[in-house]
Amino acid sequence: MIKSELVQRMVRANPHLYQRDVENIVNTIVDEITAALADGNRVELRGFGAFSVKNRPARVGRNPRTGTTVKVDEKAVPFFKSGKEMRERLNKDKKR
């Protein structure tokens, strides 16, 4: 499912809303999560999962093609950990 399909499904559940309003809502949510992470904050959505930012220290890497060493600067990467309910839903059919 891509963003436009997600919007369509949400419109189907809310026929009184315009598609552009729902697009606006989806973009607002995504932008809000992005902005929080850019500020170094955590986003915790119970049952769904949590987004956080992890810092990767600088390291000496290697160009795998040429073998030359390159310095890789310190960087921050976004990280997502699925929530308990989400993990259970993913494995529902496998449980007995």
Partner 1 sequence: MGAKTVTRADLSEAVYQKVGLSRTESADLVELFLQEISTCLENGENVKLSSFGSFIVRDKNERIGRNPKTGQEVPIAPRRVLVFKPSNVLKDKINNGALPGGNQ
Nearest approach in angstroms of CB 93 to partner 1 is 9
Residue 72: alpha-carbon gap to chain centroid: 24
One-letter amino acid for residue 75 of the chain? K
Choose, by CB under 8 A, the member of 59, 62, 84, 87 that binds partner 1.
87
Q: Are 18 and 34 in contact (CB under 8 A)?
A: no
Inter-axis angle of helices 3-13 and 19-38, nearest 10: 130
With respect to partner 1, which residue has the nearer C-beta, 61 or 79? 79
Number of residues that bind partner 1 (CB under 8 A): 54
Which parts of this chain interact with partner 1 (CB under 8 A)? 1-3, 6, 9-10, 13-14, 21-22, 24-26, 28-34, 36-49, 51-53, 55, 73-80, 82, 86-87, 89-92, 94
